[in-house]
Amino acid sequence: MLDFLSRELPQIFSTLLFIAFIFNIFLAFILIFLERRAAASTWAWLLVLFFLPILGFILYLLFGRQIQRQTLFRLDEEDKIGLETVINEQLVALDNNLLREPTAEINKHKDMIRMMLMNQPAFLTTDNKVEVFTDGRKKFDRLIADILNATDHIHIQYYIFKKDGIGKEIIDALEQKLEEGIEVRMLYDDMGSRTLTLSKFKDFKKLGGHVEAFFPSILPLINFRLNNRNHRKIVVIDGRIGYVGGFNVGDEYLGLNKRFGYWRDTHLRLEGDAVNALQLRFMLDWNSQSNRHRMIHEPQYFPDVQSGGGVGIQIASSGPDDQWQQIKYGYLKMIGDAKKSIYIQTPYFIPDTSFLDSLKVAALSGVAVNVMIPNKPDHPFVYWATYSNVGELLKTGAKVFIYENGFLHAKTIVIDDEIASVGTANMDVRSFDLNFEVNAFIYDRELAVKVRKTFEEDIKVSSELTEEIYSQRTPWIKIKEAVARLISPIL
């Protein structure tokens, strides 16, 4: 037997290597000729495939496959026609200066509004009221109060939803509304909420609640769509109140995790027609995963709301199913339009070349570029890639601040105290190209100033990273940065 194995094992091993080589050639062909990836991402995956022949193939199946564009989210024909009518009317109004009651910020940035209308149904709304939350407890207290006051429906979607302290508070509130006969739908991302399973919603479903997991796993931890996650956080209540921003649901978002400490994030509560855009986004996401309880356009989902506000907002979404990187384009347009100042807060700063170069050009042109990142990693490679990128920005005169009061998770950008963006998209390749994201682009001086002032308040509990400090980093940190830069296109 040993004699047989000693003769045959080399042949078996050679055969396996040959099969792995053939698979790698096949995948390389797909990467180069069929998948329209960025060159950096293509080269990174080719390195993985050829240096790790068998493991690389498995990693590609789990993390590398792209989903088909234009096939995941579909509008009913009637809704599609109605939305196209709204978009076309707004384009005509923009081109002919016929917008109703435009603010100074909307008038000044019509070209950006037009760009956002062209690529996706990011229709402009101008009658919104907005509350900004930077503290988890305050945000969740307000959310639970709104849930308990619901009279028709509650639609709730989070990337991470944990049934811990705050998660149970929200579930209890939702089940109370179910007992009152209110429609409740919950959508969570299967990998982001990997401690959550549909079996944990027995009582919720018995009361009439509907719940779905986005891109569910075939088996625990085996998910061939692992790399394309729904990172959106959306709540719509009665079609009148909407929430969007950075907070997920879990006790760490209340600052109760010792590893992260205080959790600093930014979230919005909206009233007005912008809620219709969040409702539409939720409907598309829900119907992509639910065949049993599909949503159709009903009047109660899109009521005529008079908020009494006057804030201009476009709700933009993006994902690997889209031809255009809508949110990234919005960020780039904001940076390109900035004349005085740019304020960015992000936990992950791993942008592509176009984004990083746009910030360098702005800083070198005399625009005050300010970037704030956390002082601790929740993903080590991501953190060191972030650190390397902000170090590069320092050479252009940009200012970089390290948040020291816990963990910074906010995803915000403000330019010239005129436009602000708050949402779920980080300034990294994953948010731009791989995840499903949603952001509110706000054309309002008062709101932009408010978001900028939160940045300035955070400076009080931050340290400034200077060129001198960055140049003194240890050889070990330089090695970690070099490795992180190499694999950053696929992080």
State the average pLDDT over residues 287-303. 88
Half-sphere exposure of 189 (CA within 13 A, CB side): 20
Q: Given a cut of 70, is residue 430 above it in pLDDT?
A: yes
The pTM assigned to this predicted structure is 0.86
Domain 77-88+129-311 has CATH 3.30.870.10: yes
State the average pLDDT over residues 456-476. 93
pLDDT (0 to 100) of residue 382? 79
Q: Given a cut of 70, is residue 81 above it in pLDDT?
A: no
**Strand, coil or helix: what is 392?**
helix
pLDDT (0 to 100) of residue 475? 86
Q: Given a cut of 50, is residue 5 above it in pLDDT?
A: no
For residue 138, what are its two tokens?
């305050």
State the average pLDDT over residues 71-91. 68
pLDDT (0 to 100) of residue 34? 53
Q: How far is CA 281 from CA 30, 56, 106, in A?
A: 31, 35, 23
The tens digit of pLDDT for each residue in 205-240 reads 999 999 999 988 766 556 556 678 999 999 999 999
Considering the domain delimited by 326-490, tell me its CATH architecture: 2-Layer Sandwich (3.30)
State the average pLDDT over residues 192-198. 87
Q: Which residues does the annotation mark as catalytic?
A: 231, 233, 238, 409, 411, 416
pLDDT (0 to 100) of residue 286? 95
- Of 26-35, 103-112, 142-151, 159-168, where does mean pLDDT reach its minimum? 26-35
pLDDT (0 to 100) of residue 36? 55
Computed from CA positions of residues 271, 277, 281, 287, in that sequence, does the dihedral angle turn out positive or negative? positive
- Of 76-80, 217-221, 301-305, 378-382, where does mean pLDDT reach its minimum? 76-80
**Helical spans, DSSP H, in 194-253:** 202-206
Mean pLDDT taken over the chain: 86
CB 9 within 8 A of CB 31: no
